[in-house]
Structure 1
Amino acid sequence: MDQADVPALLSRLASDEDAARKMAVFKLQSSINDPAFADVFISSGGLVILRRLIMNTGGNTLAYSLQSLTRLLEVDMGWDIFEGYMASDLIERLVELIVTNPLVNILRGAMSILVALVSHLQSAPAGKHIATTVKAPGMFGFRALKPALAVHPQFFDHVISQLQSADHALCAASLMLINALIRDVVSKDDGTSNAKTSSSEDWSKVIKKLQDLGLIKAAYNLMQSSALQDLAQPLLDFQTLTKVLLRKWKEVKVDIERPEHRRALKGTHLASAPDRSFASNSGTSPTTSGEPGTKRHNPEKWRRLGFQTESPASDFHVAGFLGMMDLTDYVRRNEDGFQKMLLEQSTKPLDERCPIARSSLAVTMILFEHFGIDKADLEDTRGYQAIDNIKTNDKIFKPLLLQWSRLHVAGLHAFFRMWKATGAERDDFEKVAELVRILVERVVGQATRTKDIAEIEEELQDYEYSRLREVQMELLELSFDHQWGQYLYQVREELKHEALTFVKEQRIRCLLQGSWFSKPIPSRDQPGHQHQRETNSIDAKKRLYAPKPWRFARLSHNRRYLHFADFVDKVTPDPNLESLDDKIDLSTISSVVSNVSAGEDSQSVSSGSTLRNNTAQPPGTPKASTTGAAANSTGPKTTTKITIYSYSNPAEAAKGGDTAEQAVLTLHPTSNSLASEWLDGLLMLLNQAPITAETKKLSTLVSDYGMKIRLLNVGVDAVYNGPQPGAGVVPSREGLDDDYYYEI
């Protein structure tokens, strides 16, 4: 609409005909958010007419009027409508509409205007005095609503009830109004005013009233619902304000001179079912008095409840009034369990008792740190845009934060359970607190947005201590690796090389010592066949040899030759090199093939990471491999086999020519350990990597022990300075005889 049309528009807005007014205000709402048009409209007296429409009309005309004022305020214009002696009537009209009008479009408009009204001072430029921003500072913020709230005390009930509305826009407007009210009353208490003045008490009273009306439950349901996308901004704002409130409660120091603090402490004491044999004071002070003439007090009045001293206010130094709220809330919800717990603890030695109050404060701080309450600020959510990613929603929105009280009670019960399961004592308090901290991170921290609080409570109660210890060890290892990993990586590599060198020498020494291997004999020489043949004396006389089922192999001292020979029986001592007739030059070996398992992976292994099967390979560096299971042998002992291959033409192979391989020696180890020693010994002797699981396990064991020794970093001189004077001297037996006895 053109600015020149403003006089005609105002004329139609002031018309007595409802149809003309309705059409005019309908057009107004689509044009008034243009600053140039709005400026002409205000200067022409349009605010007076718009105010009159809001005060006197209804139906769509009223809805369009409210929408027009909302859009005018969005461009930061038209605030003069809330000034003057009639401003309170307009505010009361808006409050009345929220309380009495059932139409959604009217409710949305009225709430949006009140949001702007309450938030106006909050959006003032930083460092600029309020008096220079608005002309009537008393008519904005929460104070502007107080006269109207006195007339319509059910206002908050209706606002919170709209949080369950099916209209998401109305629901968002209601939550935005609540956020604006909370932000205003909290920002008024900057900590500089006297704690006992009414201005600093307003915020806690307003918050308590909103909570009693079901605000927390309604916001919790919205944060877990599918409507989150449409309500992302106000819900995120509410979540931040919840953190701000928790932080402010923590910052309130517990003072026994304040009536509400004194009542909370006294209520906790009375709920503990104190021993009536000790008479209490008049109730004006929770501390023990030592003045003459006063009645007797229980010397453990507060320590019995789990406080560290008889001056309980000092225990709240860290958690503040938030810690007191959590403790009193736990006692109120679980009075019978609280008394039972105290009675159970009273039967134990003092050092073994679980300090209930101290545990409650510890859980409060665990939750405080888990949710990052200290990082919350009133301005945190001003720059957030609409959130589209569902996975991001699960990370940003924390509906469990709104279930603070139930989380605290569940965490405290978990603390008691851990204390009992670990058999903890007083000096172990921080260790148990650390376990509960890990438990909260594990259960609460990994919970999805839609997970119900009842499931969280159940998991906190049922999480096994053994699993929690495993998690703790994993976290410690990760923390250690994160801090020291860059330094330990190089050490591990060095130790790995040293361990491999050590194992190589051990394996080669096994070869130097020599070993017995079984040797399969032909079926004709088996005992059954031999008995049939020996029935013929002529055949028996023709037998020129006896079966030799044993083979002994030994590496030469210079580690260049592998000597071996076959025997009818094992001989003792083991044969020396001179008695072993056959030998193999290790420089001619082309590959070592075996069916010995290479651990979990039994594929073929060879040098240069080239897999080798039983086919001939081009000449080059000697190779090692493992093949499939050997065929059933008729040998006496085992089917495990190690076969050593050599080139049929070593000279041609040395030149790089293509030449075939041939088996020159086959060994049948009698045990897996012997197979591992000889297979890996031969491979390492040929400068190849070991492949069997047993050798790898031994190498890892040596490396791990080396790491532990280096981490200890303790020298002999650090722990042993030599014997004490006179130590180790054998006493003389001069003058003694052998007449002695033992007294039992």
Structure 2
Amino acid sequence: MDDLPPLPALITSLISDTEPESARKFAVFKLQHALGDPAYAERFRAAQGLLPLRHVVLTAVGNTQAYALGSLDALLELDVGWEAVDAEVIRKAVELAAGHPLINIVRNALLLLVLVVGRPLRHGGGREDGSAGEGMGFQALKPALELYPTFLESLVQRLSASDHMLCANALQLVNALMRDAVLHSGEHEWPRFIKRLQDLGVIGGVGMLMRGDAAADLQTPLAAAILEFQGLTKLLLRKWREVRVNVELPEHKRALKTIHLLSRPEPYHAPARASEHSESGGGAKGSRQHHPEKWRRLGFETESPAWEFDDTGYLGIMDLVDFARRNPDLYHKTLLEQAVLPPALRCPLARASLSVTLILYEHFEIDDDATLLERPDAAPYIHSAGNPEKIYRPLLLQWGRLHTAALTTLLRLWKVSGAQVDADFFKLEELVRIIVERIVGSATRRTEIAGVELALRNVGLEAARLWQMQGLDEVYEDAWGPLLGEVRDALKRESMAFMKEQRVRCLLAGAWFYAEPSASAELSGGDGRQWRYVCLSHNRKYLHHGLFASRGASDAAPPDVADLHEKLNLDAVTSVDSNVSAADPVPAPQDPASLYSSTHRNPSGPTKALSRLSTTSSVTTLRTHTRNSSTHPAPPSHHPPTTSQITILGLDPYASNDMNSSTSEAPLLTLHPPNPTLASEWLDGLLMLLHQQPITASTTQLVEMLVDWGLRLRMLNLRWEDVEWEALEARVKGEEVGGREVPGREGIEGEEFWYGVGGV
């Protein structure tokens, strides 16, 4: 501001006709930036500079006019200089914004109109009836808009301009007009104005801006304008919901009539009474009246449908009319299909449409953000931080198509599932709620509505039920997370103890393994194959084993312990080495009864008490080796026909008594399981005997299955009515809870009586 001339000279140059145009352009250019200082703006106003500035706005051209508009905008943003804004200035701004080719002039003209329209909100202005006063808000633009009827069309077209600031100013003006119309216009005026903007394509223009790269930065004016429009859309939806349906109003009556006529009702003639038939000589065919189920055939519960819109308001009737207009053939075909079904199997179309409206209303959280935009200080509706992919909701702008797609999904699932009205309507409604949450909720700002419609059209009943179960788990986890965590840990310990006992019983039962071929058998001309039988002693301290030339029949009795001449002391075992990988696909039994499949020869039967597994161990950590062709080549034909190998390592009893004898490790016994199931049982059984964790997939799957089943059984005892935390905790942990008293038979005559047990 140091290079600015004194205010009297500057003001004189604004209106002087003797000075060159370049001097006035330079003066107003400097003035535009200087007026950002409130002190300088007040001095400019005190020096009577408003009228000269207004003169430049009305008479100048080119960049001089753009700088003059920018200077006036700077004053108005400081709430200074409103006396210079009259009908002539507003008309000039509308004229420039409607068709001037220079972008900088159009930008400043649009910003001027934004400030004019938004003034009632900032000042809390307006009349007592809620309408804006003359010269304020949208009312100030009405005379100029009558002179330029194409202004709104050009304004919407500005949303697709390449200049981002121009797009932002145009969208800010759209927002200001919408907000002022909703908050200060009559209940019949603002819907018509909003409808006009939508017909001009404002939804498509804002949708393109949402998906564009320029909207990624949430700190820009364009992002603020987009988010404000998104919030205003919620405000409109809430306003439409708050409008009560009244069949006496022409517009509401017309909407209900549209729903009825698009159903293509057949002419109905009431049957003539017998007396009338006799008096007319049989010539009367009945008088034409309304069908007794005129509205119930459309899916309403009664013949007075107005009250059924209490929850959705006029928004519900708008969505139903929109569905019927978008899909007249589907609407008519659905009603015909439902008419031939028994009443219990018919899908109430109107009721389903209202349910979908409420589902979308709750999904987009309409009430949360719509309330903010009614406050004057909430105009800059900005999320300064967050993920743009989730903050922008372009699907909200496609409310009608989204409602149609969700309603079509509900009708399709109803037909596939064979649902009934009384028993299954709320279940299907909940399924659609979950589907909308999963598909629409996972959409980003770049997701096209066509892709969402396709996903809703292809989702099946099984997928929806799967999502429902997953959501139920999340709900229970949120409600009782800490308690379920404790129960899960306890069940994990019990399951591990149970699996340890089961695997050890497999070792107690004994099993046949392939053995290394003997040299004498190979020299005698045989194939050299031998079998080794191994079993755990009853005191669980020794592994008894012996070599046999043949395995014998499958139903033959296993060898007796007395016939096993070799034994291995488990105290000498330090680790187990195996090429059985933890990720090997080992078949896991699907039924708990099969856990005892390997213990059929154990006379002691299943264990009655589950021991607690110790997770600490002083022995050497298990070493596993992944099988591959380089480290484990295929064995020759005379070797055991299996790739699984379990090597039990321990202290070598034949080692010398030197200093390192206590730490030397040697293979004590090598086992070749004939199948993966036996390999899993014996490998994990040996590990658990050494107080180590099991590693095979089969044992891990069984433990997880036991934990999951146990947790679900505990959850069956939970009820949402259990608000007393002590009783809730007891139920989750499987403890006994005092039940309700069963009523007696005193005072009841006869034997036929019953009582209900609630909450079960």
Question: Fold match, TM over 0.5?
Answer: yes
Q: Is residue 33 of structure 1 aligned with residue 36 of structure 2?
A: yes
Q: Separation in 2 of the partners of 1:313 and 1:452?
A: 35
Equivalent-residue separation in structure 2 for 1:698 and 1:569 (angstroms): 33
- The aligned runs of 1:136-147 (5 Å cut-off) are 137-147=133-143
2:213 paired with 1:243: no
Deviation at 1:669, TM superposition (A): 4.1
**What's the CA shift for 1:204?**
1.8
Q: In the TM superposition, what is the alpha-carbon distance from 1:178 to its structure 2 partner?
A: 1.8
Give the alignment's Cα RMSD to 1 decimal.
Answer: 3.9
* SS of aligned partner of 2:388: helix
| 1:583 alignment partner in structure 2 | 567
Alpha-carbon shift at residue 705 of structure 1 (Å): 3.7
Q: CA offset at residue 526 of structure 1?
A: 4.7
Alignment coverage as a number of residue pairs:
661
Q: 315-324 or 294-303, which moves further after superposition?
A: 294-303
Letter aligned with residue 327 of structure 1 = L
Is residue 652–residue 668 contact of structure 2 (8 Å, CA) maintained in 1? no
TM-superposed CA distance for 1:520, in Å, is 4.0
Distance 1:308 1:580 in 2: 82
In 1, Cα distance between equivalents of 2:33 and 2:663: 93
Residue of structure 2 equivalent to 1:661: 665
Task: After TM superposition, list the pairs within 5 Å mapping 1:204-219 onto structure 2.
Answer: 204-219=191-206
Alignment-mate amino acid for residue 536 of structure 2: L
Per the TM alignment, residue 324 of structure 1 is displaced from its structure 2 partner at its CA by 1.0
Amino acid at match of 2:194: I
Partner residue, 2:440: 444
1:414 equivalent to 2:396? Answer no
Partner of 1:255, secondary structure, is coil
Aligned to 2:525: 529
Taking a change above 3 Å as real, the CA distance of residues 243 and 279 of structure 1, as seen in their structure-2 partners, is farther
2:207 to 201, 215, 220: 220
1:203 maps to: 190
Runs of 5+ consecutive residues of structure 2 not aligned to the other structure: 272-285, 587-613, 718-733, 746-760
**Match for residue 55 of structure 2?**
52
Q: CA 1:409–1:550 in structure 2 vs 1: closer, same or farther (change >3 Å)? A: closer
Q: Give the equivalent residue in structure 2 for 1:290.
A: none
Distance 1:51 1:423 in 2: 72
**Aligned-partner Cα distance in 1 for 2:619–2:17:** 107
Q: Tell me the residue number matched to 2:593.
A: none
Alignment of 1:233 onto 2:229: no
Q: In structure 2, give the amino acid aligned to 1:437.
A: R
CA distance in 2, matches of 1:659, 1:221: 73
2:76 aligned to which of 73, 77, 83: 73
SS in 1 for 2:395: helix
Is 1:92–2:91 an aligned residue pair? yes
Going from structure 1 to structure 2, the CA distance change for 1:637 and 1:51 (only over 3 Å counts) comes to closer
Output the CA distance in 1 between the equivalents of 2:425 and 2:191: 33
Per the alignment, residue 318 of structure 2 pairs with 325
How has the CA–CA distance of structure 1 residues 22 and 311 changed in structure 2, closer, same or farther, with 3 Å as cutoff? same
For 1:258 and 1:654, the matched residues in 2 are separated by 107
Task: Please give the residue correspondences for 1:103-502 in structure 2 after superposition, counting only pairs within 5 Å.
Answer: 103-124=102-123, 137-188=133-184, 199-228=186-215, 231-278=222-269, 296-376=289-369, 377-378=372-373, 379=375, 382-383=379-380, 392-426=387-421, 427-502=423-498
- Among residues 606, 615, 619, which one is paired with 1:621 in the alignment? 619
Instruction: Give 2:536's aligned residue.
Output: 555
Distance 1:320 1:303 in 2: 19
- 1:584 aligned counterpart, secondary structure: strand
Larger gyration radius, structure 1 or structure 2? 1
Offset at residue 647 of structure 1 (A): 2.0
Letter matched to residue 589 of structure 1: V
Matched, 1:706 2:687: no
Cα distance between partner residues in 1 of 2:616 and 2:681:
22
Identity rate of aligned residues, in percent? 45
Q: Is the 8 A contact 1:588 1:650 kept in 2?
A: no
Deviation at 1:383, TM superposition (A): 4.9
1:272-293 deviation digits (Å, cap 9, x = unpaired): 111211479xxxxxxxxxxxx9
Cα distance in 1 for residues equivalent to 2:506 and 2:29: 100
Shift of 1:188: 1.9
Deviations 1:495-537 (A, max 9, x none): 2222222232233333334444444443552597269xxxxxx
Within the alignment, does 1:696 sit opposite 2:700 as a pair? yes
- Residue 253 of structure 1: CA displacement? 1.0
Larger RCO, structures 1/2 (Cα 8 Å, 6+ apart)? 2
Shift of 1:261: 0.3
Structure 2: distance between partners of 1:8 and 1:695: 94
Corresponding residue number in structure 2 for 1:287: none
> In structure 1, the residue corresponding to 2:159 is in which secondary structure?
helix
Contact 1:633–1:639, Cα closer than 8 Å, also in 2: no
**What SS does the aligned partner of 1:509 have?**
helix
Provide closer, same or farther for how the CA distance between residues 453 and 658 of structure 1 changes in structure 2, counting only shifts above 3 A. Answer: same
CA-to-aligned-CA distance 1:599-648 (integer Å, 9 cap, x gap): 4399xxxx9999xxxxxxxxx73665555558447367756544444423
Answer with 201-210 or 308-317: which moved more: 201-210
1: CA distance, partners of 2:478 / 2:363: 21
SS at match of 1:564: strand
Task: Rate the CA distance shift 1:294–1:10 in 2: closer, same or farther, 3 A.
Answer: farther
Contact 1:523/1:529 (<8 A) preserved: no
Query: In 2, Cα distance between the equivalents of 1:673 and 1:166?
Result: 68
Q: Which residue does 1:195 correspond to in 2?
A: none
